[in-house]
Amino acid sequence: MPLLRQGEPGTAVLLLVSGRVKVFGTEPDGGRLLLALRGAGDLLGELAARSAERRTATVETIDRCSVRVVQAERLNSFLAEQDGQSALLEYTMSKLSQTAAYQVGLVHFGPERKIARLLLEVAALADDSSGGAERVPFSQQELADSLGMARSTVANHLQRLKDSGALRPGPRLVISDVARLRGIAGL
């Protein structure tokens, strides 16, 4: 379910209280590229709200989420009163740096490593509302779309991860051996 849409005015910031979201850049032809994953405690839409510009990405829920909405004017007033602009700038730069590193990995890593890293990242962001860190609520098609791969490629590599013992057998994506999956991810 979309929380924010690329191209919309940045009139508010969302504080993600619980749950996980995926952040996508979208193209006019419908193409989508996963830019980042975010979890509880993260701000969403802060770039557009601070600059009064249009949103640069779409944010969709991965699982059930709880958010707090803060109007841009209220956020900006609070930051001015508390001299918090530099703290928000640091936070934003940190998130942008993570996004850049994520994109480098998408370009340079092989399919199995990309899949393993995405599964680990989704699991790391799990909170009590997510139903367990080992469960990854993505379909094969969602993984393929997120990583810019063919579904058949994702299916092949998921089977290899299951055969290795990193994932449990069966139709759902469940991490069974984090250490093994981290090794495959090169971490």
pLDDT tens digits for range 147-184? 888 999 999 999 999 999 999 888 888 899 999 999 99
Distances (CA, A) of 129 to 10, 57, 74, 150: 27, 24, 28, 30
Q: Give yes or no for residue 49 having a pLDDT over 80.
A: no
**What is the greatest pairwise CA distance in the chain?**
56
37 in Cβ contact with 138 (< 8 Å): no
Q: How many CB atoms lie within 10 A of CB 59?
A: 25
| pLDDT score, position 48 | 67
pLDDT band at 102 (very low <50, low <70, confident <90, very high): low
Tell me the helices (H) and strands (E) count for the chain, helix number first.
7, 9
Rounded CA separation 126/133 (Å):
5
Q: How many CB atoms lie within 10 A of CB 72?
A: 19
More confident residue, 46 or 17: 17
Place of tokens 């009139």: 11
Question: For residue 68, how far is the Cα from the chain centroid?
Answer: 18
